[in-house]
């Protein structure tokens, strides 16, 4: 085999114009990220979920089950939420859409939630269909309803 390839080298063609790249970059800079629930307000580890399931108290409605666990010695810590959506609810797209809507509703209600408490929301099957039909405001009302039951 020869040391040279025999094919002449050509510069790669640009995939788009410089103006288009600049416009896309400006669009990304100007786009505001939707406010989300911060990481410190979420349960993410399996052992945290297990602790809430084992030691917490539960309340339920037709659409949701809420487990509540008061962390000892951390009354000043942030309230944290974990969301569990079973696979029988639907595809990953459907489950993630439900989680996004629940997190958004939780973010709006976070100021009224007691500090130092962990919550796990377990979604029941009717919520997926009803949430699509009725919208995010309805989902927030379901969250208010179950949080009210948990406080009582």
Split at pLDDT 50, 70, 90, the class of 36 is low
* The predicted structure's pLDDT at residue 32: 47
The CATH architecture one would assign to domain 39-151 is 2-Layer Sandwich (3.30)
Q: Dihedral of CA 136/141/147/150: which sign?
A: negative
* The predicted structure's pLDDT at residue 21: 57
Q: Whole-model pTM above 0.75?
A: no
Phi, psi angle pair for 39, to nearest 5°: -55, -35
Split at pLDDT 50, 70, 90, the class of 14 is low
In whole angstroms, give the CA distance from residue 113 to residue 82: 14
Position 99 pLDDT exceeds 70:
yes
Split at pLDDT 50, 70, 90, the class of 2 is low
Q: Give ∠ CA 82-85-89 in degrees, rounded to 5.
A: 165
Higher pLDDT, 27 or 114: 114
């Amino acid at each position: 085999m020869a040391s040279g390839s025999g094919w002449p080298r050509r510069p790669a063609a640009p995939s788009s114009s410089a103006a288009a790249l600049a416009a896309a970059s400006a669009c990304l800079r100007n786009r505001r990220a939707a406010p989300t629930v911060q990481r410190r307000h979420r349960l993410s580890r399996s052992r945290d979920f297990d602790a809430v399931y084992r030691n917490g108290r539960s309340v339920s409605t037709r659409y949701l089950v809420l487990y509540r666990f008061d962390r000892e010695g951390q009354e000043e810590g942030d309230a944290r939420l974990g969301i569990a959506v079973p696979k029988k609810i639907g595809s990953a797209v459907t489950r993630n859409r439900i989680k996004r809507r629940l997190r958004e509703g939780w973010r709006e209600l976070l100021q009224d939630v007691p500090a130092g408490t962990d919550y796990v929301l377990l979604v029941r099957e009717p919520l997926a269909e009803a949430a699509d039909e009725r919208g995010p405001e309805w989902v927030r009302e379901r969250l208010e309803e179950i949080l009210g039951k948990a406080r009582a």
